[in-house]
Amino acid sequence: MRAAGVVPVVPGWTLSLASLGLALAVLGCAALSAAQHPLGPCYRECTNATPSRVCAFSFVEEMYNAVNQACGNCSSGDAADCSRRGCIPVDGVERTVYSINRMVPGPAIHVCAGDVLQVDLHVHLHGHADTMHWHGLRQRRTPFMDGVTMVTQCPVMAGQSFRYKFEVDAPGTYFYHSHNGLHKVNGVVGALVARAPPEANPLAHLYDLDLAEHTVVLMDWLHVDAEFVFPGLHALHGQRASSILINGKGDFQFPDGSRTRTPLAEFRVRRGLRYRFRLINSGGLSCPLVFRVLRHKLVVIASDAADVQPLEVDTLYIFSGERYDVILEASQDGDAFWIHCFTGGSCPHETQVEQVAILRYEDGEDEDEALPADPRPSIQQLPPEGVVLNSPYCGDSPRQLCVTDLQSVPAMEDPLLHGLAEPEHTEVQEVQFYPYTDEELYDNDQFLPFLYFDMNIAGAMNNVSYMTAASPLLTQPGESPTCRGCADRADGRPPCVCTQVVPLPLGKRCEVILVDVTNVTPSRLPVDGMLSHPMHLHGYSFRVLAVGSLTNITRGADRRRFVVDNAALLRAQAATPSPPAKDTVMLPRAGYAIIRFEADNPGVWFFHCHFQYHMAVGMEMVFQVGNATDFVKAPADFPRCGNYLPD
C-alpha cells in the first residue's frame, strides 16, 4: 500500500510534486537542460541500447512583439537581421504575440519513446493564466498532467510556475499548445516528436532519413490579437485568418500588391534520398490547411502518431490538431520547388489565405539563393489537386480519399474495434451551431456565450453549450455541478449552458456516433456556409469506422435519426480490415463520424472541436471513464482552486 500523496508514474519509481525536482536520476541519468542543446536535450539516435533520459525544459510564456526592434531590417529583406536573438519574424507584419521563450512556434521537443519529459511553465502573461496540453499523448499514468484548465488542473496564474512531468510512452508526431482562452491562436504552440528504434518501426525501411529539421509546424495566423475578434466585430466579418505561417515564417502581400520580404521556411534534402516529413496543423481557426509540394508525391505513413499502410497522394487536407507523417522522395529534375499551403474546405474563396515555403535540393547549383523555377503558386490559379486525402468532400470521387481509406499498421485483430460486431457501449453526440435570434441573445437575463460571424451563434454538443467548471473535475471531483445532455432543448431551441460530463464504462469497447445536427436553412445557415469540425479526444486514440456528409438532409433531427438508425450500414459501407487510429477526426459539415475505442484509461477526458473559437462558445464536453475511485491520484500537494462564496 503506497503512502498518501505519492502516485506510481513509471514502473519502479514514484512521484510527488515536492520530489519532482529531486528525482532527476530515476532512470539512471541526470536531467539534461534544453539550453545546452539547440535541438533540445534529448534529440539523439533512438536505439534499443539507448537509455531513457529525463528531458528538462524551461518555458517562459509572455506577451511579446513580433517584428520588433530586435528584427532590424528583417521585413525589408535582411535575412541576417531575421536571425537575431529576440526576433520573431512571422510574416513580416508587426503584432503582439504570446510566445514561449520569445519564439513562435515555441522550442521543438525531440525525445525517444520512453523518455520522461519535464517542462517548467513560467507564466509571465500579465493579467492572464494558462495551462499546457500535450496533444496526442494519452497520459495513462499521469492524467493530471494533461494540461486542461479546470478539467485536469487549475490554471497557472501570472507570476506562477508549474512543473509538467510525464513519460512519453509511445513514438509519434505530437505537439503542445496552450489550453486556456485563445492563447494558442496568439502563438503558444510547438512541436513534440518521439522516435522509436528503427527495428521497432515497421515502416522504417521506406525512408532513408528522419530529421528534426523536417518537422513542419503549420499555423493559420491573425494580424490582430485573437481576443480582438472575440466574440466578433461587424466590421471584420468574423475570425478569418490573415495569413499562414510555416515553422513561424512566411511573407505577406498587402491589398496594394506590396509584399513583406521576410524569409520563407526552407527544407533541404539530397537528391535520390527519401525523407520522413512530419506535418502538424497547430492552428486554431475555422478552415483546414491544404498542403502539397509541387512536382512531388507524398506517401502518407502515419496519422496522429499511428502508423498506416503507405498511401500515395498529391494533396493533404490537414485539420486543426491533426498530424500526418509523409515520405518525400527527392527524385525530381530541378534544384528548388514550391511548398504550397492554403486554407480550404468550406471557406469562401474571397477569404482564403496562403503561404509558401521552399524545398531545396542541396546539390543544386544555386542552392543558397535561387527561387524555384516554376511560378509561385497561387490560390487564384490552382492546378488540379490530384489524389486528395481528408477533404470535406471525401468520397465524392475516386480521387477524393477519406481517412477511412487508411489502414492501420500493424493490422488490428479486435473485431469490436473495427465495426464487425456491435459495440459494448454506444454514445451519440450531436454537434451543432445554434444561431441565436436577437431576442434570444439580448433580451435575456442570462449572459449567454456567443460568437459573431455574420450571425450570433453558440456551439453545442447534445444541446449543451459547455461552461468551464469552477474547480478541476479530475483532481477535485464532485466540487463543481455538472450536467449530462439537455434533451428538452432539442430541435430548434437554444442550448443549455452547463458543464457536461458523460460517463463511459471502464474497460468497455465504446462507440461514439458524432452527427452534425445543425439545421440547413438557406436564409440563415446555408450548407455552403457550414463548416466541418475537427473533433479531438484527450487521453485516447480511436478507430475511425465511418465518415460522410448528408447535406441532402436539411433538418438536424432527421439527420441524427438517419445516422443512428443506419449506423451498422454506414460502418459496413466504409468497412476496412484495419481502420486507422486517430485522436482527431473531421466531422464533415451536415455529416457524421463513427469512432470506437476501448475505455481503458480512467479519468476525465476533454472532447471538443479543435477550432478555438468554436470551443470558446461551448462546442466541447467531458467523458468520464470509470469512477473517481478508479482515477490515478494526483500528488497530495497538487494545486487546488475553486469558488469563494461565503454566507
Per-residue HEC secondary structure of 491-559 comes to CCCCCEEECEEEEECCCCEEEEEEEECCCCECCCECHHHCCCEEEEECCCCEEEEEEEECCCCCCHHHH
CA 537 to chain centre: 10
Kindly list the distances between the CA atom of residue 270 and the CA atoms of 26, 129, 337, 467, in Å, as whole numbers in the listed order: 40, 45, 13, 52
* pLDDT score recorded for residue 261: 94
Can you list the alpha helix ranges (DSSP code H) found in 406-452?
438-442
SS3 call for 103: strand
Say which range, 103-112, 205-214, 366-375, has the weakest mean pLDDT.
Answer: 366-375
Kindly list the distances between the CA atom of residue 224 and the CA atoms of 51, 130, 221, in Å, as whole numbers in the listed order: 45, 20, 9
CB distance 527 to 590 below 8 Å: yes
When pLDDT is cut at 50, 70 and 90, the band that residue 21 belongs to is very low
369 vs 630, more confident: 630
Kindly list the distances between the CA atom of residue 629 and the CA atoms of 6, 144, 173, 366, in Å, as whole numbers in the listed order: 15, 15, 32, 64
- What does the pLDDT average to over 254-276? 96
Give the pLDDT confidence of 344-356 residue by residue, as tens digits.
Answer: 977 766 678 999 9
Give the pLDDT confidence of 427-453 residue by residue, as tens digits.
Answer: 999 999 988 988 999 988 888 889 888
Give the pLDDT confidence of 282-304 residue by residue, as tens digits.
Answer: 999 889 999 999 999 999 999 99
Q: Write the CATH number of the domain with boundaries 54-364+376-401.
A: 2.60.40.420
Question: To the nearest 5 percent, what fractions of the chain are helix, strand and coil?
Answer: 15, 35, 50
CB distance 348 to 379 below 8 Å: no
Give the pLDDT confidence of 83-126 residue by residue, as tens digits.
Answer: 999 999 999 999 999 999 999 999 999 999 999 999 999 999 99
CB under 8 Å to 483, separation ≥6 — which residues?
A: 464, 496, 498, 499, 500, 501
* pLDDT score recorded for residue 17: 40
Give 543's Cβ-side CA count (13 Å radius).
29
* pLDDT score recorded for residue 351: 77
Closest C-alpha to 27, from 214, 168, 228:
168
* pLDDT score recorded for residue 463: 93
When pLDDT is cut at 50, 70 and 90, the band that residue 491 belongs to is low
Could you state, in order of their start, the residue ranges of all structural domains in the chain?
54-364+376-401, 415-625
When pLDDT is cut at 50, 70 and 90, the band that residue 22 belongs to is very low
CA distance from start to end of the chain: 40
Q: Count CB atoms within 10 A of the CB of residue 26.
A: 18
CA 459 to chain centre: 18
* pLDDT score recorded for residue 111: 98
* pLDDT score recorded for residue 186: 97
* pLDDT score recorded for residue 4: 35
Say which range, 385-389, 393-397, 507-511, has the weakest mean pLDDT.
Answer: 393-397
pLDDT at 34 over 80: no
Give the pLDDT confidence of 518-529 residue by residue, as tens digits.
Answer: 887 655 555 555
Mean of per-residue pLDDT scores for the chain: 90
Give the pLDDT confidence of 632-647 residue by residue, as tens digits.
Answer: 999 999 999 999 999 9
C-alpha cell at 308: 498506416
Give 600's Cβ-side CA count (13 Å radius).
6
pLDDT at 424 over 90: yes
Tell me if 54-364+376-401 shares its fold with 415-625. Answer: yes
Task: Please give the helix or strand (H or E) that residue 81 lies within, else none.
Answer: helix 79-82
Superfamily, domain 415-625: Cupredoxins -  blue copper proteins (2.60.40.420)
CA torsion, ordered 14, 16, 18, 21, to nearest 10 deg: 50
CA 81 to chain centre: 32
Residues 328 and 549: their CA atoms lie apart, in Å, by 31
Provide the phi-psi class of 512: left if phi over 0, else alpha when psi is between -120 and 50, else beta. beta
When pLDDT is cut at 50, 70 and 90, the band that residue 163 belongs to is very high
* pLDDT score recorded for residue 12: 32
- What does the pLDDT average to over 261-285? 97
C-alpha cell at 157: 496564474
CB under 8 Å to 35, separation ≥6 — which residues?
A: 58
Share of the chain above pLDDT 70, in %: 91
Say which range, 352-361, 383-392, 561-570, 614-623, has the weakest mean pLDDT.
Answer: 383-392
Residues 401 and 438: their CA atoms lie apart, in Å, by 41
CB under 8 Å to 361, separation ≥6 — which residues?
A: 268, 269, 270, 271, 330, 334, 335, 336, 367
- What does the pLDDT average to over 393-421? 86
Closest C-alpha to 312, from 217, 395, 386:
386
Say which range, 13-27, 60-74, 108-122, 210-224, has the weakest mean pLDDT.
Answer: 13-27
Pick the most confident of 31-40, 359-368, 376-385.
376-385
Residues 606 and 345: their CA atoms lie apart, in Å, by 25
What is the CA angle 543-547-550, rounded to 5?
160
pLDDT at 630 over 80: yes
Q: Phi and psi dihedrals of 628, rounded to 5?
A: -55, -30
Can you list the alpha helix ranges (DSSP code H) found in 551-643?
556-565, 567-573, 612-616
Task: Please give the helix or strand (H or E) that residue 117 lies within, else none.
Answer: strand 116-124
Residues 591 and 589: their CA atoms lie apart, in Å, by 5
* pLDDT score recorded for residue 527: 55
Closest C-alpha to 563, from 532, 539, 592:
592
- What does the pLDDT average to over 607-621? 96
pLDDT at 361 over 80: yes
C-alpha cell at 175: 505537439
Note the pTM of the prediction, 2 decimals.
0.92
Q: Phi and psi dihedrals of 484, rounded to 5?
A: -135, 105
Can you list the alpha helix ranges (DSSP code H) found in 417-496?
438-442
Give the pLDDT confidence of 38-63 residue by residue, as tens digits.
Answer: 788 899 999 999 899 999 999 999 99
Closest C-alpha to 207, from 339, 329, 44:
329
C-alpha cell at 252: 505577406
What is the CA angle 609-599-281, rounded to 5?
30
* pLDDT score recorded for residue 7: 33
21 vs 32, more confident: 32
Residues 90 and 93: their CA atoms lie apart, in Å, by 7
Give the pLDDT confidence of 533-592 residue by residue, as tens digits.
Answer: 999 999 999 999 999 999 899 999 999 999 999 999 999 888 788 999 999 999 998 999
